Structure formats: structure tokens, C-alpha cells
Structure 1
Amino acid sequence: MFDTHSHMYAKEFDSDLDECMAQALEDGVYLTALPNIDVESIERVQNLMRAYPDQTIGMMGLHPCSVKEDYKQQLATIKTELDTGRYHAVGETGIDLYWDKTYFDHQVDSFKTQIRWAKEKSLPIVIHARDSFQEIFDVLDTEYDNDLSGVFHCFTGNEAEAEKALSYDNFYLGLGGVLTFKNSGLDKVISRVDQRRLVLETDAPYLSPHPFRGKRNQTAYTKLVAQKLAEIFEVSVEELAEITTANAKKLFKLNGI
């Protein structure tokens, strides 16, 4: 399995990171993609990539919740790091209107900037969308072309939003712990989606799947998401893992890994 979105570099893992990374391998999660958040998290992402070069890949971007007055300076620093060529995606980026709408215009500009980076570098874009699907779609409708690919990370939308998200060719839906929540309704939405457009993720340390909801999430729990998705499609976990891992490798343009 492939955890396509996990903050395993976060301080929540400072005391037992090695154990968690070993547990991921034991539970069949052979690769983890690390999304950057802001300038401060760059070093942590780098350190984990160096410590586990065969088990991680990195992304580089500015999270919408990190977009403040200084976002252009942050973007400049992040672009310099992205230009090193060490990274397999631009992200995470997007629009978040759940916590604070103060910097909405700044978030839109930051998102558009990072989309253009992704197209210039032929990298996928990793999209964070919270209370903002229409705003995200408004941007994509103007910025999307055949050079852009990406994933709607932690997708929790309805059927119409899933259909719209997948109307952009070479885009995927990232599914995590919310899929396992009893009353999320996400299982019904996803049951109508082509399996070839889905990837697995955890968003660790956040959004732990059942039965660990409310506790710290970790990459090893990708298997619980895979089990739920296999149940929805009535296929074996092995078959589901093979399909979603192939999707993830296509998304991140990984050959031979």
C-alpha cells in the first residue's frame, strides 16, 4: 500500500518515529508521501526524507491555513526549495474557509501560483479543500489544462463534487480515515467512483480511522482505509491495494518504485 498524504515528520512523532515507520512496513505500507505546510516545516520534511529515503517521497508547497500577510515571502522560499528537484508534487495547497476567511484572496493567489509551478515542472498538485469546493473549482476552471494533474486530498465531498473533481483528467480522490466513520456517508459517494481514480492516504497525525478515531493517526493505519474501501467495492484488500498503489504511482510519476 501507498500512503499518499502523511505528516509523519510532525512533532507528534518525535518520541516514536522509528517505531511508527517500522509498523507501517509491517502492515504493508511501503511508501509514504510527505506534504509540506510552510517554511518552518521544510527542514522536518527534509530530515524524514533523508532518514527514510526508500520509504518516503516529498512534496513542497504552502498550506492554505499557513497563508498570511507574508505569503509571498513564504512562497519565494518554498519555490527555491522546490527548484532543487527533490520533490514529487506541489503541495499541499488549496483553499480552506473552515477556520478563517480573512486571507481568502491571498489563498486564491497562493493556490494559483502553485498550480502554475506544477504545470511548469510537470508535477501533480495536491489540493486541500475544506468548505471550499466551489472556490477550488472556480480556480481550476480557469487554470486547468492538459499539463495539470493532481489529487483532491482527504476528499469528503458529495456525489456532485466527486463528479466535478474527476471531470478534470488525471485527477484523483485521496481517501483517508473519514471513509471509515459510521455516519460520514462517504462510502455511498465513493461506491459510484471508478477505482482507477482513487488513492489511499492517512493525513497522519490527523483524522484517524475507526477504531482509533480521536487518537493520533499514523501511516500504518492506511490498511484500515484499504480494508473499508475493499469492503465497499466487494474486492479483496490485496486487489484494492494493487489498484490504488498503481494509481498513486501514476499520480506521482514514479517508475520502477
Structure 2
Amino acid sequence: MILTDTHTHLYSSAFDEDRDRVIQSAIDAGVSRFFIPAIDTSYTKAMYALEANYPQQVHLMMGLHPTSVKENYREELDFVAAELARRPFVAVGEIGIDLYWDKSTLGIQQEAFQYQIQLAKKYQLPINIHCRDAFDEVFEVLERERAADLRGIFHCFSGTEQQALQAIDLQMKLGIGGVVTFKNGKIDQFLDKISMEHIVLETDSPYLAPVPFRGKRNESAYMINVAQKIADLYNVSIEEVAQITTANSLAVFGI
């Protein structure tokens, strides 16, 4: 059984004391593919070190996270563009719009998001979307940039059934993580109406640990709990969930 964590911050300082154990624990649980989103330049060194230590399992994205879109965002975007030109990545991400923390930066968040989608198109890469309290704003940009070859993942999808269908229409997979196990997560109420071909699994570790670990540091190994919840919702085996969602991740990332 091969499970794929399509979104994990394994370079986070939260793992500095036991990163190797965390990764081995995940591999032992069947989670052997790790896709790593960027945040901003302050994390780049740690990302590259992680890749160097686990070149077979770790696959890097490059991008500017919306909460890092601040006064120096143009310098950060220049760095993203330069790195994409310099070496290969599996996606542009995580990019998007976040209006939970700061609504005042909406204009430059939209600009940064659209520019990075255009970079993804240039390099024929998928995008990994961060969307918090901003579905309308994210969809507005995506519709402007809609293209036959634009694809990606709505990371940590937490929207409605209608928003899920809208994302799928834009050729995005739904990134499903710990939220699906929460009593108030809501997406478990309609997810089984969505074909599993549109779903990938993720942890967003060290954040958003699934039940029964909610409130603790999340790990890629805990994705087995997410996969089991999906299996229960769709009334299939966990092995089938692993097979389908890993195939879906391959369709997005090409690896």
C-alpha cells in the first residue's frame, strides 16, 4: 500500500528534534511520497536540506504563501521566478489568498497569486492553492487564468459541495486532510457524492492533526487516519483509497 502526502511541511522547525523518526514512522505506515510546499525565502534552505536527505521520497514545490505577501512581495516573487528558471520543481505552491489573517493585503495577494499561476503555465506545472476565507476571491483569479493545461490541488479543501464542484470544473483536485475527521469539519457530509478521482490526501503537518490526535503536532504517519475516514465514507477498503488517491497525485504532479 502506497499513500501519498500531497502537502506536508516536513522542513518545519516543529520537526527539528525528531525529523528522521517522523519520516521513518510515516514510511512504516505506508506513506512514502511527500510533496513539500514552499512558504517564502526564509524556509528555502531547510527545504533544500530536506530534499538532499530524502531525494527519493521528497518532492519540492516553489512559491510564495499568501500570508507572506507583504511589503517585500515583489522581491519574494523575483526569487520564486529565478528558482523556477534555475532548477526543477513539481508544482508552484503554496499560493493563493488568505483573508483570515489580513484583509488589508488582498490587492497584492491577488497580484501575487495571478503572477504565480502565470509562472506555472510558463513551466507547465500544477499549482497548489491555499484558500482561507477567500473562495470567491480565489475563484475570481482562477477564472481569469482558466486554461486547458492549468491543473492543481485545492489544499486543505474546506468548502461546500458547490465550491468543490467549482474547483473540479477548474481542473483542481481536492486536498483532503485532518478536517474530514473533525465533527464540525462539514466536508464529510457531502464528500462521498464527489467521485474519488477528484481527491488527493494530505496532512499539512505539523498542522491540522486528524482525530484522535487533534490539537497535537500532526505527522505524515497520521494520514492513515484520514485514509481510513475516506474509506469509511466511500465504503471501500483503505487499500483502494491509497491506490486511487496516489494515482490522482501522479496525475497532478507527473511523479
TM-score band, normalised by shorter chain: over 0.9
- Aligned partners of 2:28 and 2:9: how far apart in 1? 19
Q: 1:58 aligns with which of 60, 64, 73?
A: 60
- Aligned partners of 1:113 and 1:184: how far apart in 2? 32
Residue of structure 2 equivalent to 1:174: 175
- Aligned partners of 2:205 and 2:231: how far apart in 1? 21
Alignment of 1:105 with 2:107, yes or no, is yes
- Aligned partners of 2:144 and 2:102: how far apart in 1? 24
- Aligned partners of 1:244 and 1:100: how far apart in 2? 33
Residue of structure 2 equivalent to 1:223: 224
Secondary structure at 1:59's aligned position in 2? strand
How far apart are 1:160 and its partner, in Å?
Answer: 1.0
How far apart are 1:183 and its partner, in Å?
Answer: 2.2
- Aligned partners of 1:142 and 1:79: how far apart in 2? 21
- Structure 1 counterpart of 2:81, one-letter code: K
Which segments of structure 1 move beyond 3 Å, counting only runs of 4 or more? none
The 5 Å alignment of 1:6-155 reads: 6-155=8-157
Residue deviations 1:172-219, cap 9 Å, x none?
Answer: 000000000022221112111110010000000000000000000011
- Aligned partners of 1:253 and 1:38: how far apart in 2? 24
How far apart are 1:86 and its partner, in Å?
Answer: 2.6
Residue deviations 1:41-84, cap 9 Å, x none?
Answer: 11111110110011110000000000001100011012211222
Secondary structure at 2:96's aligned position in 1? strand
Residue deviations 1:137-166, cap 9 Å, x none?
Answer: 111111111121111000000111111111
How far apart are 1:134 and its partner, in Å?
Answer: 0.5
Q: Structure 2: which 5+ residue stretches go unaligned? A: none
- Structure 2 counterpart of 1:240, one-letter code: V
- Aligned partners of 1:184 and 1:208: how far apart in 2? 13
Structure-1-length-normalised TM-score = 0.97
- Aligned partners of 2:146 and 2:71: how far apart in 1? 27
How far apart are 1:243 and its partner, in Å?
Answer: 0.2
- Aligned partners of 2:42 and 2:96: how far apart in 1? 18
- Aligned partners of 1:46 and 1:211: how far apart in 2? 32
Name the Cα RMSD after superposition: 0.7
Structure-2-length-normalised TM-score = 0.98
Residue of structure 1 equivalent to 2:196: 195
Q: Structure 1: which 5+ residue stretches go unaligned? A: none
- Structure 1 counterpart of 2:222, one-letter code: Y
Worse-matched range after superposition: 185-194 or 42-51 = 185-194
Secondary structure at 1:91's aligned position in 2? strand
- Structure 2 counterpart of 1:201, one-letter code: E
How far apart are 1:85 and its partner, in Å?
Answer: 2.7
How far apart are 1:235 and its partner, in Å?
Answer: 0.2
- Aligned partners of 1:183 and 1:97: how far apart in 2? 21
